[in-house]
Amino acid sequence: MEIIINLSEQWLELRGERTERFPISSARNGAGSASGSEATPLGQHVVRARFGAGLPEGAVLVGRKPTGETYSAALAGQHPDRDWVLTRILWLGGLEPGRNQGGDVDSFRRFIYIHGTPDTEPMGSPASHGCIRMRNADVIRVFDQVPVGTSVTITE
């Protein structure tokens, strides 16, 4: 099992017994690894942690913990500036020292996730703050097949 993410074409491919491709939204600021850049890091990563197993679709997570809320237009109206992390989180750790691991380029310390986002958010175009956003049903599908330790390659 492995995940390949293509930033230029805005898709995530889950390769296992069969290959599945899903639309994504990566960083509005493009590719990059520097802390504070709000860019998506390139290179070899691994799924270091998983959060949200068993939560309902649209469950809101803050600090990787469920808030008890479920995303809705009304909730969005109450929190117009919130960067929504919904449903599931796959937290990535970089494997390449100096590129996406260690110092000010560490993907894990930058909290780079694959996570769900409101279904009203666009897919197929960069809009995130560095993470890989997916439709909620898609992130559940990927999450249910991906254990900790799964290889993730992010390419341009």
Which CATH number characterizes residue 145's domain?
Answer: 2.40.440.10
Count of CA atoms in the C-beta half-sphere (13 A) of 132: 34
pTM for the model stands at 0.96
Q: How many separate domains does the chain show?
A: 1
Q: What is the pLDDT of residues 129-145, one digit of tens each?
A: 999 999 999 999 999 99
Domain hosting 150: range is 2-155
Instruction: State the DSSP string of 48-110.
Output: EEEE-TTPPTTEEEETTEEEEEE--HHHHHH-TT----EEEEEEEEE-SBTTTBSGGG-TTTT
Nearest to 41 by CA among 83, 95, 87, 3: 95
Q: What is the pLDDT of residues 9-66, one digit of tens each?
A: 999 999 999 999 999 999 999 999 999 999 999 999 999 999 999 999 999 999 999 9
Strand 132-134 vs strand 113-116: parallel, antiparallel, or unpaired?
parallel
